[in-house]
Amino acid sequence: MRLNDGPKFVMSTYYGATPVLNITDPDIIKDVMVKDFNVFPNRHSFFDVDSFWSKNIFSLEDNDWRRVRSIVTPVLSTTRVRQLCPIVSQCVRQLVDDLSTGARSDSHVIDVSQYYKKYVIDSILRCFFRIKLDASDKISDEFVGNYEKFLNYNKWKLLSLEIFDGFFAKLFAIKSPIDESIKEFCVKLCKELINEYKTSGMANLKERDQYFIHTLINLSIDNNNEERHTVLKNKYLTEEEVIENSAIFLNAGYESSSNILLSTTYELARNPGVQQKLYEEVVGIINEDRDGNDITDYYEALPKLKYMDAVIMEVIRLYITSEPLKRLSNSRYTFRKIGLTIDKGTRVEIPTQAINTCDEYFPDATQFIPERFMDREANHQYPNLPFGSGPRGCLGKVWAVMQLKLCLVGVIRRYRFASCDIMADNIEWKLNLFGNRNKQMFVKIAERLSSEADFVIV
């Protein structure tokens, strides 16, 4: 979907009996997401039709959401993510080593998607769940198999939930579009980790604070202790909330990160000038900032990689399509800029894909131009919202940026990419629950000469 020429502020429609307002004006978006958040605190989500998926940070509403958000936010803070940097760096080392097989082959052509997916799975499982992939990748295969089911949801059920919202969905007993086996897999995995945590003595170890799942478990309460549950409810999570939030972070983080890395490599292969500029920034800043062999030095250097930020932002703008950002009004509301009044219960949507491909906001919108994000002051924040905005913005932003940038630092310092004969002219995407995905991406890869880089990889 693209916006028509000229300024378009709003467009109204209906999903079944539910009024929906699409907004594209940056100032109005800011009002909804930030300034008047008290009127639009809740998302519209189909997860609430299944009790299992209704207790995560994505689906919860009002005071339940505020409680869980206040507990979970510190778990993904900058300080906590920095502690995970050495673990992610180990995953980057493994990725760099794995890529050498393709780089030293006769054709130098690889399907880079498989490498990135393994890296993303590895880093998520290690940091969030303290699970290290074995040599046979059995855990990886099991996770990928269940994740494929998670993405390949029942589209007819999802459409029905969009049309028959709320009361009607329950009246017609419309179930969640997500396969039931996914719930069973997530519950089994998390309960095994919880039991291991409680029986192994790990609760008394300082090491526990590194891992997402262990921190959540440490913030949970015994569901069978009613008195303790009543006293501590506002400061702790239930076991169900631990499992559900772990499941949603596990599934949501995998697809988006692997697609960003895939799309970035695609554009670097097609744009050698951009690739060289990025390489020079990485080598210059990393080498200048590095003090000895302390692996955590890389984390301090990551914010200085401004051109890498611009490349990632432009890739997200062009390729990482997600559902519109959705908010529900909890009272009658008048938009200050245009004087339009909406009733309580109106769904407000921000069509991010339409905005990202609009020449009004992004001149030559179909072209890959990272430089457009170099001057942050000249670019209004709200036309581009890769991590949402306001109190309901993405909790995992700091983690995701670290995971992406560490990976690109390691790969770009060691390898160069180029287009090949079987490389697609355009990325062919398939729509899924978290946006778009591509199954394969062939590029040519070669190791950089020793004169181009030292071979100390993150």
The annotated binding site for heme is made up of 394
Distance CA(327)–CA(301), nearest Å, equals 36
Read off the tokens for 147. 């994740």
Distance CA(396)–CA(178), nearest Å, equals 22
Distance CA(116)–CA(95), nearest Å, equals 8
Identify whether the C-beta of residue 213 lies closer than 8 Å to the C-beta of residue 246. yes
Distance CA(17)–CA(46), nearest Å, equals 16
Closest CA to 139 of 127, 153, 152, 126: 126
**How many other β-carbons are positioned within 10 Å of the β-carbon of residue 450?**
8
Read off the tokens for 64. 């339940």
Using alpha carbons, list the distances in angstroms from residue 177 to 5, 248, 264, 445: 36, 15, 31, 39
Distance CA(417)–CA(438), nearest Å, equals 18
Known binding positions: 394
Query: In what order do the strands lie in the sheet containing 109-111?
Result: 109-111, 442-447, 415-418
33: DSSP letter: I
216: DSSP letter: H
129: DSSP letter: H
